[in-house]
Structure 1
């Protein structure tokens, strides 16, 4: 189980590092391209309309590019959050199918005894139910805020 957790951390870290390096390379290339395109557009607008109009048109272009980048960033962040939630739910479901967990549970039942274990399980079930209802309420509130 610990190895699975370590593998998940390694995978997410590697994925984040690859995405970051790819984004940095794309940003440098985009910056150089935009610099030349902006210089050409600025000179063209400056010759036809004047300096004020040239500066305003350059600002408008950069505003559009910034809004596009913010939209892509927000969509990517939302997608990563959904994937993380799905992975967490899948990991929680897979805990009880692990043979080590089942064997440990059987050993606990043998050591404590069934008669003593029933009240413990009842209290544990109640606590689990309360935690699940709080988790569902907080996720519903988070969805309402969006």
Structure 2
């Protein structure tokens, strides 16, 4: 039984490695093909318009590609932040709505006492406020600093 499990893991790891190396080879071939297409476009523009125009056309092409990639990156990062915020809100709501958590909180209040618990809650609220302001300040940093 255990030997079959080990063989299955070996087989799946081997096939994953083969697929990864094939994907790597395809990526390298695509990069080389794009490089030759860029060189051909450069030579074409160079022969018809001159060296300055050819360089400017190449720069404009790569600038547009960079803008598209940066836009896709920013959209993906924004979506990941939204998902993380939704997950955090759902987790917090689920924890606060859990009857076991409410019962535990009531037992803590009974054990410590309300008069002693008020300063502890005040210090905890202060720490939570400092932590929230710190995370808000960190999220307001410009994109170049991250």
Q: Aligned pairs, how many?
A: 119
**Aligned residue number for residue 120 of structure 2:** 124
For residues 144 and 59 of structure 1, the distance between their equivalents in structure 2, rounded to whole angstroms, comes to 32
Bigger radius of gyration among the two: 2
CA shift digits 1:71-116 (9 cap, x unpaired) = 2212321321232123212212211222332343455456x2xxx4
**Aligned residue number for residue 55 of structure 1:** 55
For residues 64 and 30 of structure 2, the distance between their equivalents in structure 1, rounded to whole angstroms, comes to 14
**Aligned residue number for residue 94 of structure 2:** 94
Shift of 1:65: 0.9
Does structure 1 residue 133 correspond to structure 2 residue 129?
yes
Shift of 1:68: 2.0
- CA distance 1:30–1:95, change in 2 (3 Å): farther
For residues 94 and 35 of structure 2, the distance between their equivalents in structure 1, rounded to whole angstroms, comes to 52
**Aligned residue number for residue 13 of structure 2:** none
In structure 1, the gaps of 5 or more residues are 1-20
Aligned CA RMSD, in angstroms, stands at 3.5
CA shift digits 1:15-61 (9 cap, x unpaired) = xxxxxx9xx88x93864563353233223212212344323322221
